[in-house]
Amino acid sequence: MSTVSAQTLQMLMHDMDASEARLREIVAERLALRPPPQLDDAIVGTYFFALRSLRLSEVVDDISYHATSGTKHVPPGSLLEACTGRGLGVDEFDAAGRVGLVHFAFPLKMLLHPDGHLTTVDLLHTLANAIIFDVYENMDARLVAVQIPEAVLGTFPGPAYGPQGIRELVGLPARQPAFGTILKPTAGITPEDVEALMTAVAAVPLLVFVKEDENLYPDLPYSPVAERTLRAVRAIEGARGARGGIGLIFAPHITGAPHEILETVHAVCEAGATGVMFSESFSGGTVRMVREATRRMPHPPAIYGHNAGIGVKARGIWRELIDFFARLDGIDFRQTAPVRPGAPFIRPFGAEWRASEDALTRPIAGIRPTMIARAGALDQGNIGPNLADAEQRGLSENILFLAGSAINSIKTADGHPDPQLGAAAMIEAIELHRSGVVEVAPLDDYVVRFAQAARSRNLAALTTALLQRYPGRLG
């Protein structure tokens, strides 16, 4: 079989991350000089377009026609006019006027429910419509910003708990970082296995949150989620005396089709679940559905809005908007990514990472913040930089440090995974970081210097964990 040409390979190997990072820089600069308009009677969407043949000003009429009233000659003063969108300006990046930003107003008259509320399904159905993303003319298109009137924002439920509510729920003292873990193995386990795993991790008072993995499906003949939950709750009860009064949230995985999710929510709540974990990327509106279905419970489950699949959406809709909409709908936890040296392991990173964490935590009247879950290769070797970043940005109490393998896959000398060992290593890492003897900067050699300090202080658990997590650098 012949090889693909160098020219084609160069096209196929286009670095989308580098392109996206530069686009974000440019858009941030332009919007700082000319912010998107904020209207009381419309949702304002800001789009980046790269067009094949048209000018940016020419696509405004197409959006108005195809995404709102479908009328080219609108009678003045009519209901049609009130339901017809309009352009609010363009920002051309090039002399041909084919690349740049378009601001467009979608009138509330065509959107609002009788009581004045909107859902994120309504918003995305309109803002991310076919005329934006499906027509050939639009060589590239991104939804980069959305302005929602305050009166409409106030109709969203937001998180049931948020960071402070979560901390109060589990009785976590102020200034004490919140830690969680993920059950491992992540698939192919029975309710009996879940109980055994939970028995091990529930005895670790460092942890205030435990979730199942997204690969462990809820409706399995050999592992039904309601039974898994019953056994997990039993394990938590059995470990209560070892936890020093600190509570533990257990979030079983309940992703499914919308009707399946609701059935599963009721089943796991009846079994004693204090949280639920599911992905909404491919089943839009399910966060709001679960939030509404449980909001009148005395203690509704905390919602971990897993973002599996968000990378597919984020190719057209900027991630922070997806995260922001999920916050409006009611997620209590949302994963971003940890601070770590070298190339990113998981998205988001850079400006996208900062934008998502801002969208999840910035003050919004009547809407609680969402607790950031720093996860994705978070471990004893980078917890220091993550704690330092959280402290510097004033986010310490807004972050759940979620370490999966770094807690429950650290092995003892005889080769058996031991969550107690992993947790002890994490506690030693926190204490070593707080001692101030290891500077976070420069980040590139931080783990080497950190490991040297751990050895010199005979921190056996931490040294063991670091050697297992960084065998190539420390082995």
* pLDDT tens readout for residues 355-391: 999 999 999 999 999 999 999 999 999 999 999 999 9
CATH architecture of the domain with residue range 13-153: 2-Layer Sandwich (3.30)
* CATH 3.20.20.110 matches 162-460: yes
Give one DSSP letter per residue of 28-93, joined into a string.
HHHHHHSPPP--SSEEEEEEEEEESSS-HHHHHHHHHIIIII--SSPPTTSHHHHT--EEEEEEES
What is the rounded CA–CA span in Å between residue 410 and residue 418?
6
Where would I find the beta strands (DSSP E) of 337-396? 371-374
Q: Helices 350-361 & 16-33, crossing angle to 10 degrees?
A: 50
Cβ–Cβ < 8 Å for 198, 232: yes
Strand duo 399-402 + 371-374: pairing = parallel
| SS3 state at 346 | coil
Per-residue pLDDT of 151-186, as tens digits, reads: 999 999 999 999 999 999 999 998 899 999 999 999
297 phi and psi angles, rounded to 5 deg: -70, 150
pLDDT of residue 78: 96
Residue range(s) in the chain whose domain bears CATH number 3.20.20.110? 162-460
Looking at residue 461, its pLDDT comes to: 96
Q: Tens digit of pLDDT per residue, the chain (475 long)? A: 778 888 888 888 888 888 999 999 999 999 999 999 999 999 999 999 999 999 999 999 999 999 999 998 999 999 999 999 999 999 999 999 999 999 999 999 999 999 999 999 999 999 999 999 999 999 999 999 999 999 999 999 999 999 999 999 999 998 899 999 999 999 999 999 999 999 999 999 999 999 999 999 999 999 999 999 999 999 999 999 999 999 999 999 999 999 999 999 999 999 999 999 999 998 889 999 999 999 999 999 999 999 988 989 989 999 999 999 999 999 999 999 999 888 888 889 999 999 999 999 999 999 999 999 999 999 999 999 999 999 999 999 999 999 999 998 999 999 999 999 999 999 999 999 999 999 999 999 999 999 999 999 999 999 999 999 999 888 6
pLDDT the model gives residue 426: 96
> What is the spatial distance between Cα 22 and Cα 28, in angstroms, rounded to a whole number?
10
Q: How far is residue 324's CA from residue 362's CA, in Å, rounded to a whole number?
A: 10
- Helix/strand/coil for 474: helix
CATH 3.30.70.150 in the chain is located at 13-153
Contact 440, 341 (CB under 8 A): no
**DSSP per-residue codes, 179-243:** EEEE-SS-SS--HHHHHHHHHHHHT-TTEEEEE--TTS-SS-TTS-HHHHHHHHHHHHHHTGGGT
Q: Is the peptide bond before 191 cis (omega within 30 degrees of 0)?
A: no
Whole-angstrom distance, CA of residue 148 vs CA of residue 288: 18
CB count in 10 Å sphere of residue 80: 16
